[in-house]
Amino acid sequence: MKLSIIIPVYHTEKTLGRCMDSILSQSFKDYEILLVDDGSGNPCDQLCDDYGRKETRIRVIHQAHGGLSHARNTGIKLATGKHVTFIDSDDRIETGTLDRLMSILAVHPEYDILEYGAFVHYSNPNRQHVLRLGDHVFHSMYDYWLTGKVYAHSYVCNKVFRRTLFQGLSFPEGKSFEDMGILPALLERCKTVATTSAGLYYYYDNPQGITRMADGKQLGDLLQFHLQALTQLPPKDSVLYRQYYASVLNIQMDVYERTGQETKLKKMPFPSYALYPLYNFKLTLLNIFGTKWMCKWNRRIHSVYRRNR
């Protein structure tokens, strides 16, 4: 078996057909589908069983509701393919995607992870955009994280993984932004990662999804995952490192604005005094005044903006 496709299912009976059709219509067929029904109840669990009866490559697992991470972890434990990928049950993939991706991996068995493009927030004209990736190979995970700005698209759904990377690892349960919680640990085990312009994942916009509705606690999970990633990156006085640090600073300010909790992000490990571009200006203020002052300043500005709207 070349590929295991893990699909967590929870009350997505309206979109599961779209997702499954996009997979079953692929020309590549050497795969198994693990439909992990995470305590949906009828009619969703019945729909999963219907697919399992129609197609021998589909394995249906019913379990008590434990959340997205728990469902994915169940799928990983039961997967038998050389590679594994994840598709959410309200999303789909473009025609021909699996054949193109698996053809690349057949030629390049040294690739531990292959990342492909995604149509992000598809179906929402105000937010949708295409994440376009070139054909690149990375032997340094430091370069992959920063040059490709993977921290900004740490989704697991637009990536194909060597299954053995997950041995002893699991998605963090009871946490939000779980993709960011596992990807850095997976990259620590990689020697070669590639990106490709082939294929496309359609990540449908969800108005009730975590990226739209995250509260302070959930953003706090995201911040903690990024702080852990920063400890794994050797400090480097470079534009790319500064951009990432500024990105984490933005998350820290959002968390403080919503919770007022003690700040966790420290000053840069080296000074930053350039006034342009904007991320350097923010880091300059961070190094001069400290994180807490930056967070209070940000919250005050947002408060004034909301009052004047």
Provide the sign of the torsion angle of the four alpha carbons 127, 151, 131, 250, taken in this order: positive
Q: Which two tokens stand for residue 128?
A: 């949708």
Q: Cα(140)–Cα(127) distance, rounded to whole angstroms?
A: 32
Confidence of residue 238 (pLDDT cuts 50, 70, 90): confident
Are 42 and 62 spatial neighbours (Cβ–Cβ below 8 Å)?
A: no
Q: Taking 60 as the threshold, does the pLDDT of residue 275 lie above it?
A: no
Higher pLDDT, 30 or 277: 30
pLDDT digit string (tens) for 144-185?
Answer: 999 999 999 999 999 999 999 999 999 999 999 999 999 999
Q: Which two tokens stand for residue 273?
A: 């005094």
Are 29 and 3 spatial neighbours (Cβ–Cβ below 8 Å)?
A: no
The model's pTM is 0.94
pLDDT at position 287 is 87
pLDDT digit string (tens) for 30-71?
Answer: 999 999 999 999 899 999 999 999 999 999 999 999 999 999
Q: Taking 80 as the threshold, does the pLDDT of residue 272 lie above it?
A: no
Q: Taking 80 as the threshold, does the pLDDT of residue 208 lie above it?
A: no
Three-state SS string across the chain, please?
CCEEEEEEECCCCCCHHHHHHHHHCCCCCCEEEEEEEECCCCCHHHHHHHHHHHCCCEEEEEECCCCHHHHHHHHHHHCCCCEEEECCCCCEECCCHHHHHHHHHHHCCCCCEEEEEEEEEECCCCCCEEECCCCEEECCHHHHHHHCCHHHCCCCCCEEEEHHHHCCCCCCCCCCCHHHHHHHHHHCCCCCEEEEEEEEEEEECCCCCHHHHCCHHHHHHHHHHHHHHHHHCCCCCCHHHHHHHHHHHHHHHHHHHHHCCCCCCCCCCCCCCCCCCHHHHHHHHHHHHCHHHHHHHHHHHHHHHHHCC
pLDDT digit string (tens) for 6-34?
Answer: 999 999 999 999 999 999 999 999 999 99
pLDDT digit string (tens) for 124-148?
Answer: 999 999 999 999 999 999 999 999 9
CA-closest candidate to residue 252, choices 200, 295, 213: 295
Q: Taking 60 as the threshold, does the pLDDT of residue 210 lie above it?
A: no
Higher pLDDT, 278 or 232: 232
Q: Taking 80 as the threshold, does the pLDDT of residue 305 lie above it?
A: no
Q: Which two tokens stand for residue 38?
A: 């995470």
- Backbone phi and psi for residue 166, each to the nearest 5 degrees, phi listed first: -85, 0
pLDDT at position 48 is 97
pLDDT at position 212 is 61
Q: Which two tokens stand for residue 64?
A: 């008590």
Rg of the chain in Å (alpha carbons): 21
Q: Cα(272)–Cα(261) distance, rounded to whole angstroms?
A: 26
